Amino acid sequence: MNPQDHPNDENSDVGDATAERVRIFDTTLRDGEQAPGFSMDRRAKLRMAHALEGLGVDIIEAGFPSASPDDFGSVAEIARVLRGPTVCGLARCHDNDIAACGRALQAARHSRIHLFLSTSPLHREHKLGMSKQQVIDAACAAIERARGLCHEVEFSAEDALRTERDFLVEVFSAAAAAGATTLNAPDTVGYTTPTEIADLFTYLRRHVRGADQVIFSTHCHDDLGMAVANSLAAVGAGARQVECTINGIGERAGNASMEEVVMALRVRRPYFGVQTGIETRRLYPTSRLLTQLTGQSVARNKAVVGENAFAHESGIHQHGMLKHRGTYEIMRPQDVGMGETRLVLGKHSGRHALRQRLQSMGHEVDEAAMDSVFARFKALADKKREIHDEDLEAIALGLDPEAIGPWRLVQLNTNSHMGGSASASVKLAHDNGHEIGEAAIGDGPVDAVLRAIERATGTTLDVTQFQVRAVSEGGDAQGQAQLTARHAERDWRGNGVSTDIIEATAHAALAIVNRIERRAPATPPAAVARL
C-alpha cells in the first residue's frame, strides 16, 4: 500500500504543551490480576511492571499487600526496582491493611496507598453495617494513618455511582481535608452511562470542598460494555486520572481498556484537549506480553490491539485504502507498535487488492489473464477463511492451491522426559510410491518432530512463529497448530489439526514442505533422491 499522510498525523507523535495531562493509573497487576484466569506469579508480575514502566504509566497499582504473602512480596519487589512511576498498594480502611501497604512500599522512590471504603446505601447496609458518619470517620482515620507511611494517599468511594450525591460530596470533602490528594469515584459494577458519569464529575468538582487541590479519578468496570466510554466522559467532565488495565482485564467483564482510552484521547486530542504520557508505540507489545504471561488471548476484533484492528478484507474498503489510508483508518498501526496495515484477501476482496498483492509478489498479470486468476481466487476464497501468499502464487502459476501432498504422514512416535532432550521418529509416504523413515533429537517433542521431517524430506525449515490453540472443547478437543517458517528467503505458512498437538504440528510442517516442493516439481527433494 502506498504510504500517504494520515489525517491524524498532526495529533499522533508530539504532545501539545498547552494540553492538560491525564494521569494513567494502571491496575493490571491488582484489579486485572485478581480476575479468574489472569493470575500471575511474582516473576510474571515483575516483567509486567517493567513493561508498564517502559510504557510510561504514571501510577502502577502493584497489588493488595494484605491479600497474601506472595502479593506482599510482589508489591515490595516492584517498589524496590521501579524508578519512574509511582508504585501503589491497595488497602481497606483497616490498620493492618494500611500497615502492610506501608511496609511493602517503603523502598519505593514514590509511593501511594490506595484506600477504599464503600459509600452506597446498598453497601453501607448489607456489606458494612455502618452509618454515614461511621463511613466518614473510618475514611478520615485511615487517610491520616496512611499519610505517615507513603508519599501520597488516594481515597476511593466504592460503588460511588450508586451513592447519594450529597453524601458523596460530604465523604470526598472530608477525605480531602484529611489529606487525600486523589479522589476516585469508581463505577464499581459498571452500571452508569456516559451522560450520568459526566454529570456526576461536574457536580463533584463544583461542590467538593478543596476540589481545586485534588485530582479526581475515574475507575470504570465493563459490565454493560461502557467502561471506556464512561472513562472518556469523566475525562471530558474534568477527571484527570483514569484507572484502567492492559487489554481491559479485570473483575467480571473487566475494566476500562488502557489502550482504548489512551488512543481515543490521542486521536481525538482536539476534542478532549488533554494528553497522556504514554509511549503508544509500546501498547501492542505490552498487550502481547500480557497474553503470554496469562495465557489469555484477546479477541481478533479487539479495538486497537486486536488482530483485525488494522486488517481489511472488504473489497470496497481495500480499494479505498489503496487510494488513501485515511479513508478507513483513523490511526496507524505503527502508532500502537503493531507494524503494517494488512489487506486480508478473502471472499469479500476485490480485483484491486488482488492485483496489488500479486504485483508485490512479482507477478504481473495482464487483463486477459486477470479474469481467470480472479475467478480461481474467488472459488478458493469461498472455501478458505483467508488466502495466503502461497495460495496466490499457486493461482498465478496455474497450480492447484488445494493440492495435498506429495508428502503424507504415515507414522509418528515421540519420546520426552523432564530436564532432558526429546526424540521423534516419522515415516512419510511420497506420491512417487516410496516411503522413508527418519529420527531426530530436539529440545522438545515439537522441535524433534520438525528436525525429523527436515531430514526425511530434505527441506530445511527455519521456524519463525509457532502457535497452538484449541478448536473444540472437551477431553477429546482438537488442537490447531500454525507454523510460519523461513525457506529460500521467504515465509511459508502451514496449518495442522489433530487431537494430538504434536501430530498437528507435523501436519502443519508437512503442509509447508508440500507447498515448497510443488513450487519446484522438477527438482526432487534430497530424501526422495536417496530412495
**One-letter identity of residue 58:** D
Closest CA to 122 of 150, 179, 161, 69: 161
pLDDT band, very low/low/confident/very high, at 252 (cuts 50, 70, 90): very high
207 occurs within a structural domain: yes
Judgement on whether residues 421 and 449 belong to the same structural domain of the protein: yes
431 occurs within a structural domain: yes
pLDDT band, very low/low/confident/very high, at 478 (cuts 50, 70, 90): confident
Angstrom distance (rounded) from CA 98 to CA 484: 51
Q: Is-contact 453 509, C-beta < 8 A?
A: yes
3-state secondary structure 334-356: HHHCCCCCEECECCCCCHHHHHH
Average pLDDT score over residue span 469-492: 75
pLDDT band, very low/low/confident/very high, at 476 (cuts 50, 70, 90): low
- Nearest 10 degrees: CA dihedral of 153, 155, 59, 11? -130
| Residue 4: pLDDT over 60 | no
Which cell numbers hold the place of 170? 460530604
Judgement on whether residues 127 and 89 belong to the same structural domain of the protein: yes
Judgement on whether residues 71 and 161 belong to the same structural domain of the protein: yes
Among the residue ranges 266-270, 276-280, 313-317, 348-352, the one predicted with the least confidence is 313-317
pLDDT band, very low/low/confident/very high, at 21 (cuts 50, 70, 90): very high
| Residue 308: pLDDT over 70 | yes
pLDDT in tens, 202-211: 999 999 999 9
β 215-220/182-187 pair status: parallel
Please tell me the predicted confidence (pLDDT) of residue 379.
81
Judgement on whether residues 281 and 343 belong to the same structural domain of the protein: no
Average pLDDT score over residue span 404-426: 87
Which residue has better confidence, 11 or 431? 431
Judgement on whether residues 169 and 74 belong to the same structural domain of the protein: yes
Angstrom distance (rounded) from CA 1 to CA 333: 13
pLDDT band, very low/low/confident/very high, at 325 (cuts 50, 70, 90): low
pLDDT band, very low/low/confident/very high, at 525 (cuts 50, 70, 90): very low
Q: Is-contact 185 161, C-beta < 8 A?
A: yes
List residues forming the annotated binding site: 31, 219, 221, 255
Judgement on whether residues 392 and 425 belong to the same structural domain of the protein: no
Burial class, 212, CB count within 10 angstroms (exposed 0-12 / middle 13-18 / buried 19+) = exposed
pLDDT in tens, 368-400: 788 888 887 788 778 776 676 667 767 776 666
Q: What angle do CA 201, 206, 212 make, to 5 degrees?
A: 95
Which residue has better confidence, 414 or 319? 414
Q: Is-contact 507 497, C-beta < 8 A?
A: yes
pLDDT band, very low/low/confident/very high, at 428 (cuts 50, 70, 90): very high
Q: Which of 396, 423, 448 is the last residue of a domain?
A: 396
pLDDT band, very low/low/confident/very high, at 15 (cuts 50, 70, 90): low
Judgement on whether residues 128 and 257 belong to the same structural domain of the protein: yes
370 occurs within a structural domain: yes
Please tell me the predicted confidence (pLDDT) of residue 97.
97
Which residue has better confidence, 12 or 70? 70
Judgement on whether residues 285 and 144 belong to the same structural domain of the protein: yes
pLDDT in tens, 124-149: 999 999 999 999 999 999 999 999 99
Find the domain containing 371 and state its range: 311-396
pLDDT band, very low/low/confident/very high, at 529 (cuts 50, 70, 90): very low
Please tell me the predicted confidence (pLDDT) of residue 457.
93
Reported pTM: 0.75
Among the residue ranges 54-68, 332-346, 407-421, the one predicted with the least confidence is 332-346
Q: Is-contact 216 247, C-beta < 8 A?
A: no
Judgement on whether residues 253 and 325 belong to the same structural domain of the protein: no
| Residue 423: pLDDT over 80 | yes
pLDDT band, very low/low/confident/very high, at 17 (cuts 50, 70, 90): low
Domain with residue 435: its CATH number is 3.30.160.270
pLDDT band, very low/low/confident/very high, at 10 (cuts 50, 70, 90): very low
Please tell me the predicted confidence (pLDDT) of residue 365.
80
Domain with residue 72: its CATH number is 3.20.20.70
Please tell me the predicted confidence (pLDDT) of residue 6.
46
463 occurs within a structural domain: yes
Q: Which of 242, 265, 294 is the last residue of a domain?
A: 294
Average pLDDT score over residue span 144-164: 97
Please tell me the predicted confidence (pLDDT) of residue 528.
41
320 occurs within a structural domain: yes
Omega within 30 of 0 (cis) for the link into 36: no
10 occurs within a structural domain: no
Here the contacts of 424-431 (C-beta below 8 Å, separation 24 or greater) are: 424/448, 424/449, 424/451, 424/452, 424/502, 425/452, 426/452, 426/453, 426/456, 426/506, 428/453, 428/456, 428/457, 428/510, 430/405, 430/406, 430/528, 430/531, 431/405, 431/406
Q: Which of 294, 325, 343 is the last residue of a domain?
A: 294
- Overall number of domains in the chain: 3
Judgement on whether residues 350 and 374 belong to the same structural domain of the protein: yes
| Residue 523: pLDDT over 50 | no
| Residue 229: pLDDT over 70 | yes
| Residue 36: pLDDT over 90 | no
Average pLDDT score over residue span 306-322: 71
Which cell numbers hold the place of 156? 476511593
Q: Rounded to a whole number, what is the largest CA-CA distance in the chain?
A: 89
β 407-416/422-430 pair status: antiparallel
Which cell numbers hold the place of 48? 509486567
Please tell me the predicted confidence (pLDDT) of residue 303.
93
List residues forming the annotated binding site for Mn(2+): 31, 219, 221, 255
303 occurs within a structural domain: no
Please tell me the predicted confidence (pLDDT) of residue 393.
67
Phi, psi (degrees; rounded to nearest 5) at 435: -125, 150
Judgement on whether residues 248 and 125 belong to the same structural domain of the protein: yes
Which residue has better confidence, 276 or 15? 276
273 occurs within a structural domain: yes
pLDDT band, very low/low/confident/very high, at 61 (cuts 50, 70, 90): very high
Judgement on whether residues 321 and 463 belong to the same structural domain of the protein: no
Among the residue ranges 381-395, 452-466, 473-487, 494-508, the one predicted with the least confidence is 381-395
Which residue has better confidence, 319 or 420? 420
